[in-house]
Amino acid sequence: MSDAIIGGQDRIAKRFAKLREEGRAGLVTFITAGDPDPEASFEILKALPEAGADVIELGMPFTDPMADGPAIQEASIRALAAGMHMRKTLSLVRGFRDQDHETPIILMGYYNPIYIYGVAVFLEDARNAGVDGLIVVDLPPEEDAELCVPTVEKGLSFIRLTTPTSDDKRLPKLVQNTSGFVYYVSVAGVTGAGSATNDQIVEAMARLRRHTDLPIAVGFGIKNATQAAEVARQADAAVVGSAIVSKIAESLDENGKATDKTASMVTGLVRELADGVRNARN
């Protein structure tokens, strides 16, 4: 079996096993595929592991990202304006896999572009491209038959979002059918908004641990190395999205085009975040 089609669950499990061995939490970084344009996006993507990303979430652009705050909304708009679409997102992953066989890639987004692509074809193409898992914001367990079950059958992970509104009654339903890791959205809100307090995260982690042995990644509202380190002391991984995407926005010229600083500004921030995460438990 070639590396490119190693079952996605393996790559994620191996990565979290390695993190456990190293006695540290991981850094999960989010960028939107094709932001600010397909070429620059590929440069950023390729540079992420070396800068310290342990897992990569790659946003699938969508016109109506109703769970995202302004930063990630604008990233989607930039990507779509630059001609991004699902087939290009998958070729971005394929290009990445040609040189990196170990860093898990999770595609994240909304259901409609996948539904329109066709679930079976999408899963086939995603797996062949080297995708390891999916996070689909608008597919709660009530709609598992749509995509979650076929994804897991295909050997990819379907990573579930759990939230402050996920109580002990709801959590068993949420961790069922899920694999890879569990993503804890630490605040009720859109991406990039406020952040949770340490106490809230400790409490939520305890609640989640009662229901699952999967690694737990915590995200939403983590903007800098200090916050990332705080989360890394409690969780198996810290997820950073809006702050990275905002760095891309900041690096653009007056016409919204990528500059020679774009990739380096992003990797600069990722390095800081990785330092924070890696030194959190020292």
Partner 1 sequence: MTSAPTALNSYRALPDPDGHFGNFGGRFVAETLMPLILELEQAYKDAKKDPAFQKELDYYLKHYVGRANPLYFAERLTEHLGGAKIYFKREDLNHTGAHKINNCIGQILLAKRMGKTRIIAETGAGQHGVATATVCARFGLPCTVYMGSKDIERQSPNVFRMRLLGAEVKPVKSGSCSLKDAMNEALRDWVTNVEDTFYIIGTAAGPHPYPELVRDFQCVIGNEAKEQILEQEGRLPDQIIAAVGGGSNAIGLFHPFLDDKDIEVVGVEAAGHGIHTGKHAASLSAGKPGVLHGNRTYLLMDDDGQIKEADSISAGLDYPGIGPEHSWLKDIGRARYEPIGDKEALEAFKLCSELEGIIPALECSHAIAQVMKEAPKMGKDKIILMCLSGRGDKDIFTVAEALGVEL
Active site residues: 57, 68
Q: Does 114 bind partner 1 (CB under 8 A)?
A: yes
Pick from 117, 148, 211, 251 the residue near partner 1 by CB under 8 A: 117
Q: Does 115 bind partner 1 (CB under 8 A)?
A: yes
Question: CB 173: neighbour CB atoms within 10 A?
Answer: 15
b/e 133-165 (16+ beta carbons within 10 angstroms → b):
bbbbbebeeeebeebbebbbebbbbbbbbbbbe
To partner 1, the closest distance from the beta carbon of 39 in angstroms equals 19
Record the tokens describing residue 65, joined without a space: 């990202």
Pick from 43, 138, 203, 275 the residue near partner 1 by CB under 8 A: 138
Record the tokens describing residue 25, joined without a space: 């939490």
To partner 1, the closest distance from the beta carbon of 27 in angstroms equals 23
Q: Does 160 bind partner 1 (CB under 8 A)?
A: yes
Q: Does 62 bind partner 1 (CB under 8 A)?
A: yes
Record the tokens describing residue 257, joined without a space: 């085009």
Q: Does 119 bind partner 1 (CB under 8 A)?
A: no
d(C-alpha 204, C-alpha 124), whole Å: 35
Q: Does 19 bind partner 1 (CB under 8 A)?
A: no
Contact indicator for 20, 54 with CB cutoff of 8 Å: no
d(C-alpha 131, C-alpha 153), whole Å: 14
Q: Does 34 bind partner 1 (CB under 8 A)?
A: no
Give contact residues for partner 1 (rule: CB under 8 A). Answer: 61-70, 73, 80, 85-86, 110-117, 137-140, 142-143, 160-167, 170, 174, 185, 188-190, 193
